[in-house]
Amino acid sequence: MRIVGGRFKGRSLAAVKGLHTRPTSDKVREAVFNILPRDFPFRTVLDLFAGTGAMGIEALSRGAQEATFVDSDAAAIAVIKKNLELCNEKARVIKKDALAALKEFSRKNESFDLIIIDPPYSSELAIEALKAIDQGGTLSPGGIIVAEAAKRAPLEVELPGLVAIDERRYGDTIVYFLRHREGLDA
């Protein structure tokens, strides 16, 4: 696994041992970041269910100024920290349940320009995280959510404040891009 673009392009990243963490493939990561705006207007990034931290580090590599990584697994937290060291990058790393972290960010009125959601495919956590973001105001105006799901379990949820603006399929993975409904005219 390596960084595919930006100032850290080509850097190898450590992986979490075992089968518990499924990192986003280099191919999917590259495709996602090629779909996002070229001038990368995302100053703050939240990588939920961060695993190795590859998605958030990719965002830092491409111009994000701040990143927050959230994962509940101690082994994943250790790997995220190691990968940040490999890139000589500093970021906030939080060992916490993603939904609890979203509640805390909401309570503190903290928002992010880019939110990446990549939970275990066999769970309902992506839908729960999207609901929490929709209700909690953690997505900045003009921000984008990138959510991954398995092709066999697509995200099917209607949210009053969010709308899917794009959807891409890569093998067994579906990647959704969402924005605030009110920001679509901007």
What value does the mean pLDDT of the chain take?
A: 89
In this prediction, residues 176-180 reach a mean pLDDT of: 91
**Gap between the Cα atoms of 186 and 50, Å rounded:** 30
The whole-model pTM stands at 0.92
Predicted confidence (pLDDT) per residue in 11-42, tens digit: 989 888 865 556 677 788 888 999 998 777 88
Q: Is residue 141 part of a domain?
A: yes
Q: What's the number of domains the chain is made of? A: 1
What is the reported pLDDT for 152? Answer: 84
Q: What six digits make up the tokens of 124?
A: 């309902």
What is the reported pLDDT for 186? Answer: 47
Q: Is residue 22 part of a domain?
A: no
Q: Is residue 84 part of a domain?
A: yes
- Cα–Cα–Cα angle for 174, 180, 128, nearest 5°? 55
CATH number, position 74: 3.40.50.150
Domain that holds residue 52: 41-96+111-183
What is the reported pLDDT for 183? Answer: 60
Q: Is residue 61 part of a domain?
A: yes
Q: Are 118 and 48 in contact (CB under 8 A)?
A: yes
Predicted confidence (pLDDT) per residue in 121-164, tens digit: 778 899 999 999 999 889 998 899 999 988 888 888 788 889 89
Position 89 confidence tier, pLDDT thresholds 50, 70, 90: very high
Predicted confidence (pLDDT) per residue in 10-19, tens digit: 998 988 886 5
